[in-house]
Structure 1
Amino acid sequence: MKLQNQDIKIGKTIDELVEGETFSLSETIKNREILLYLGLTNDDNPLYSQYDYIKELGLTKPVVPTALIFGIITSTINKHLPGPGSHVVNVNLNLIEKIFRNDLLSFNFEIIKIDTNKDLVTINIEIMRDEERVADAIVLVQPPLEEFVVSE
């Protein structure tokens, strides 16, 4: 059945996407986000919050939890490319350098493969801090389906 509630917005379906399509955004992960993550997960890794431990390692700022980078990636996919209704089915995230609290990061998304037989899109993500690549990821995404039932 076709979408019945026109107030529900879905992103681009697999037929609307194009290889080479891009989306970019910049994010700064601040203390608030790290504290929320630590509170929600009960993660007590001193690398994220203990300044004495951080200084012993020769670092000047806490490291950003990997889960927060993953969260920015998945929320961007779910909001923008392909958009609402998307389902992330696989993520390969490679952290090249440590990412620190208050770093300004640029996330550059690019669709590199569309598989209409499997209804999957492969998205390459490059994460930059200034001119330095600090992480990258390959994500498999099932774009929103054209037809589905909206329960009321």
Structure 2
Amino acid sequence: MILISCKGVAAVLLGRKSRLGKRVHEIRIGEKLHLTETIEDKDLLLYLGLTNDNNPLYIQHDYASDTPFEKPIVPTIMLNGIITSAISKHMPGPGSHIREQNITFLKPVYHYETIDFLLKVERVDRAENLVDVSVRGFNNEKQPIIEGLIKVYPPY
């Protein structure tokens, strides 16, 4: 039995069946998921440490101030991680798998910005067991910063 603790909650990974997300026949076009995330320095440092990514644009204020961004930005892969986590946890949920994703990052995200994400089911293909989920993200000023489409296999 392997235990992983995430934010103080232990989950059993082996030896017990986990709850699965919605199956394709339970998913309806128009279903939505709204979530809000704030990107903090501790999250950035954890990401940079795990990936050994030392891009100065992500953490060095002196370098970033000489770029068009003017200050450090959040790596887009971190934002992608928030989106894929929402797919895995909520829409359709545990047991699902992303087949394809097309995400455009319209504006940079800065440290300590709060991002509002909206995921919406756009298409359900029961024969292929495939769901299209659109994603949109907005920054503190309600400006669009992310848009895309994710093709997901719900749990079987």
**Do both share a fold (TM > 0.5)?**
yes
Residue 98 (str. 1) matches residue 108 (str. 2): yes
Residue 73 (str. 1) matches residue 73 (str. 2): no
Residue 18 (str. 1) matches residue 18 (str. 2): no
Measure, in 1, the Cα distance between the counterparts of 2:101 and 2:129.
Answer: 16
Question: What residue ranges of structure 2 are gaps of 5+ in the alignment?
Answer: 1-14
Task: Give the TM-score, by structure 1 length.
Answer: 0.88
Moved over 3 A (4+): 58-61
The correspondence of residues 43-54 of structure 1 with structure 2, limited to 5 A, is 43-54=53-64
The 3-state SS of whatever aligns with 1:94 is: strand
Residue 61 (str. 1) matches residue 71 (str. 2): yes
Of structures 1 and 2, the one scoring higher in RCO (CA 8 A, sep 6+) is 1
Cα deviations by residue, 1:103-127 (Å, 9 ceiling, x for unpaired): 1100000000011121110000000
Name the Cα RMSD after superposition. Answer: 1.5
Q: Identify which of 127, 149, 152 aligns with 1:138.
A: 149
Percentage identity across aligned positions? 37
Measure, in 2, the Cα distance between the counterparts of 1:48 and 1:12.
Answer: 36
Residue 113 (str. 1) matches residue 123 (str. 2): yes
Tell me the amino acid that sits aligned with residue 140 of structure 1.
K
Question: What residue ranges of structure 1 are gaps of 5+ in the alignment?
Answer: 146-152
The 3-state SS of whatever aligns with 2:87 is: helix
Tell me the amino acid that sits aligned with residue 29 of structure 1.
I
Cα deviations by residue, 1:17-42 (Å, 9 ceiling, x for unpaired): 00000010000011011111111111
1:58 positional shift: 5.0
Count of aligned pairs: 141
Map of 2:134 onto structure 1? 124
1:60 positional shift: 4.6
1:59 positional shift: 4.0
Task: Give the TM-score, by structure 2 length.
Answer: 0.86
Measure, in 2, the Cα distance between the counterparts of 1:37 and 1:6.
Answer: 30
Cα deviations by residue, 1:72-103 (Å, 9 ceiling, x for unpaired): 00100111110111101111110001111111
